[in-house]
Structures are given as structure tokens and as C-alpha cells.
Amino acid sequence: MRPPPPDPDNTDTPPLVAITGAGGFLGRHLVEAFRARGWRVRALARSRRLPEWDEGGVEVVSGDLGDAPALADLVRGADAVIHGAGLVKALSRAEFFAINRDGTTAVASATGPNSQFVLISSLAAREPHLSHYAASKAAAEEAAHELIPRERLTVVRPPVIYGPHDRETLIFFRMARWPLAPVLGTGRERFAMIEVSDAAAAIATLTERKVSGTYALSDERPEGYSMAEIVEIASAASGNQARTLMINPSRLSWAGYVGSSLSFLSRRAVMLSPGKMREIVHGAWGLAQDEVFADPSLHPVTLREGFARTAAWYRTAGWL
């Protein structure tokens, strides 16, 4: 459906944000964050339309990142374009780059000269040598810098995001219910964390204020948490007191190759790849204060509070 052109005589029209990846984990929270701030929302969707979009009047453009006419319709008249679509698991390096880099190129190329462009990247982009995923996110940032003027470009590097609707961190809560929970870590690793609604609020604030530059996100502990701390807090949120069994991830490098083999045989992408194991072994995913976007209006929840809310949602949804 082609969106109507904006009315230049209507100065009371709320600002418009165009979002790719709006149906994903972070994307659906971004939609809610902008709607709560009075923005009009236009979302790119291949086929799935979320029920809550009908209630809030979210405008949907049918298409994907390879559909140039759909992208033109998506960004037309937008005050801001948030590119959040991407792959976190794939069968090959080429597949990662086709979506994460080339998709960014397509959206950035379609974006008009007056729109703020916000790229949702990843902390992994700091270490592109570790995995195909990390390399593709770094390449996406490069593509955005080549196509978007510096003053209109915001690159956001979220850390581990958790919260309602997330299936990737669900494993921590499921392990936390076991009497003995295995922990891939040495105690020296650090992972920055943020709850998804806090991440969405920070991105909305960056967008509204047209803050250019590259920023990471975090809760009140940018230096991050060890794996043992994460599992312990997930255990408490799940109403359990699991004992932890520390396993040095460097001794399980073979696990990534097992995952890769299963992926090859099933032709389905899996998270546990050799690259993902290298990311885990690397372990240095904490943040310096000057990397983090912090604003007095933002009050991110603590990990304990955020995990408690997330566990409650999982139980209500029947995931735990």
C-alpha cells in the first residue's frame, strides 16, 4: 500500500518514523516507544502484522529489504528512519552480509536528505574479526557512513538485550531452574546488559534529539556482568537457587563446530556457531562510560528488576 504524501500545510502533523524490523524483538518495543511519544509509525513488513498494530493505527508497507519500491514508500516523508532489521544467525557469511550490510545499503540509499537515519548495530561490530555476524555489522556501519551525512547519522550498538518476547536469553531462565546450572565463563568475562523497553526508550530519545554519532546502550552497570552473575540473577527471578557449574568456554570450542555441522545438515541457521563461540570466549563486552548514551530522562531498571519482570512475562506467556 503506497502511503499518502505528507500535507505541507498541516503544521500540527506529528513527526513520522519509518522502522524496519518492527515485528522483531526490539522492533515491537520501538513501535510502542514512539507511539507513546506521539509519533506516527510506519513499518516495513513482509507478511506478519502484529495484532497490537491495528489498535494503534500503525501504517504497514508490505515488502522486504530487497524491494526498492517498498523501501521508497517506507521512507517517503519520514522525519526519522530506524533500520533495525537484520540477521543474528545465518547459514553463511554471504547470508549475513546480504542482509546486514546490503540491507543497510538499500535502506540508507532510499532515505531522503531530510531524515535522521538511525542504524541499530551491535557491540559485536567492535570486534569484526570474531565472527561473520560481527563482520557484517561492522560492514553495515561502514555502508551507513558512506551514504548518510555525519550530522544525520546515529549508530546504536546495543549490548545483550533481554525482556518480554525474547527467545535468545530465555535459555538463562530455563537453565536457572535446574539444580545445577552450567555456566560458560571464567568469572573474568563481562557482558553489558539492557532491558528491551529501556533500549527502545534510549533509541527514541536519540532519534527525537537528532543526536549524531555512535553510542552503546547499557543499564546502570556499563562495565557488565559475569556469566555466573547473570545465571544467579536469572535463578533468583525464577524463584530458584541453582548451584552453578563453571565451564571454561575455551574448552568447548568444538561445540560451535557441532552446531555448524547440525546447521549444514538441517539447512537451518543456529546460534551456536564457531563465530558465536569466539564471541563468548572473547568475553570483553563491558563498556566504558564514554561509550554509553546516558541522559537524565532515562532511568534503566537494574538487572534484578528487569529479570524479575521478564521471568513474570515468560510464566504468563507459558514459556517457563
List the CATH number of the domain containing 134: 3.40.50.720
- Contacts for 92 with CB less than 8 Å, ≥ 6 apart: 132
Is the separation of the CB atoms in 216 and 300 below 8 Å? Answer: no
Q: Is residue 8 part of a domain?
A: no
**Residue 2 pLDDT exceeds 60:** no
Average pLDDT of span 14-41: 95
For 112, phi and psi rounded to 5 degrees? -75, 165
Mean pLDDT for the stretch of residues 70-76: 97
The rounded distance, in Å, linking the Cα atoms of 72 and 68 is 6
pLDDT at 265: 36
The CA–CA distances, whole Å, from 171 to 137, 185, 220, 221, 231 equal: 24, 15, 23, 22, 10
Is pLDDT of 77 > 80?
yes
Q: What is the pTM of this model?
A: 0.88
Where in the sequence is the domain holding 113, given as residue range(s)?
16-158+196-217+286-295
CA 69 vs CA 2, 64, 109, 118: distances in Å: 9, 10, 12, 20
- The residue-averaged pLDDT of 8-36 equals 88
Tens of pLDDT, residue by residue over 83-105, are 999 998 888 899 999 999 999 99
Angle 227-237/303-317 helices, nearest 10 degrees?
50
User: Could you tell me if residue 149 is inside a domain?
Assistant: yes
17-31, 142-156, 173-187, 299-313: segment of lowest average pLDDT = 173-187
Is residue 176 one of the residues assigned to a domain? no
According to the model, what pLDDT value does residue 57 have? 73
Asked whether residue 144 is domain-assigned, the answer is yes
Query: Is 301 contained in some domain?
Result: no
Name the grid cell of 268. 537451518
- What pLDDT was estimated at residue 251? 58
Q: Are 99 and 87 in contact (CB under 8 A)?
A: yes
Tell me the pLDDT tens digit for each residue of 223-263: 999 988 998 899 889 887 767 777 776 655 544 433 443 34
Residue 279 clears pLDDT 70, i.e. is over it: yes
Residue 175 lies in a domain: no
Percentages helix, strand, coil for the chain (3-state, rounded to 5) are 45, 15, 40
312 domain residue, yes or no: no
Number of domains in the chain: 1
Q: Is residue 129 part of a domain?
A: yes
Give the orientation angle of helix 274-282 with respect to helix 132-147, to 10 degrees: 80
